[in-house]
Amino acid sequence: MRLLLVCLLLALPLLSVAQEPAAPAPPPAERKGAPHVPKNLKILKPEEIRPVMGAIVTGLGVKCGFCHVQGDFASDDKPEKETARKMIVMTRDINAHFQGATADMVSCYTCHRGETKPLIAPPAAAPAPAAPAAH
């Protein structure tokens, strides 16, 4: 039963390739560098993946592995990925609702500035500089 399920899952991408009659499926070895067929998009369109992922890594100063399980971009196992989904929606909402005020300028970087956790309050006041030692 489980084996059957695995076979079905493996067959899925092959089926979708088979639907395009003009392009016969290349042998698996040649498919290695082929474009990733997204399997688990809830917000983005396939063509948005590349630019959005690029903006995200710059915005947060992270690598892909901050949100993605290695070798399986479709997996939702990392909670950071789900948080990122909410953040994508939030960022889009801001830009959609405040056009003119933000000139579509709010991005991950606007808040994150290359950090995973943007400051939500000013840093604790730095201690007053010590009085210069009297000579």
Cβ(116)–Cβ(62) below 8 Å? yes
Among 49, 58, 61, 95, binds ligand HEC (CB under 6 A): 49
In this structure, what token pair is assigned to residue 104? Answer: 């579509």
Give the binding range for ligand HEC (CB under 6 A) out of 7-15, 20-28, 55-63, 127-135. 55-63
Binding to ligand HEC by residue 25, rule CB under 6 A? no
User: CA torsion sign, 38 to 43 to 44 to 45?
Assistant: positive
**Cβ neighbour number for residue 68 with a 10 Å cutoff:** 19
Separation CA 59–CA 21 (nearest Å): 40
Separation CA 114–CA 94 (nearest Å): 20
Site map 91..130 versus ligand HEC, x via CB under 6 A:
x--------------x-x-xxx---xxx-x----------
Binding to ligand HEC by residue 6, rule CB under 6 A? no
Cβ(114)–Cβ(61) below 8 Å? yes
Among 13, 14, 26, 39, binds ligand HEC (CB under 6 A): 39
Binding to ligand HEC by residue 58, rule CB under 6 A? no
Binding to ligand HEC by residue 66, rule CB under 6 A? yes
Residues in CB range of 59: below 8 A, 6 or more apart: 107, 108, 109, 112, 114
Among 74, 96, 101, 105, binds ligand HEC (CB under 6 A): 74
The site for ligand HEC (CB under 6 A) is made up of 36, 38-44, 49, 53, 56-57, 59-60, 62, 64, 66-68, 73-74, 80-81, 83-85, 87-88, 91, 106, 108, 110-112, 116-118, 120
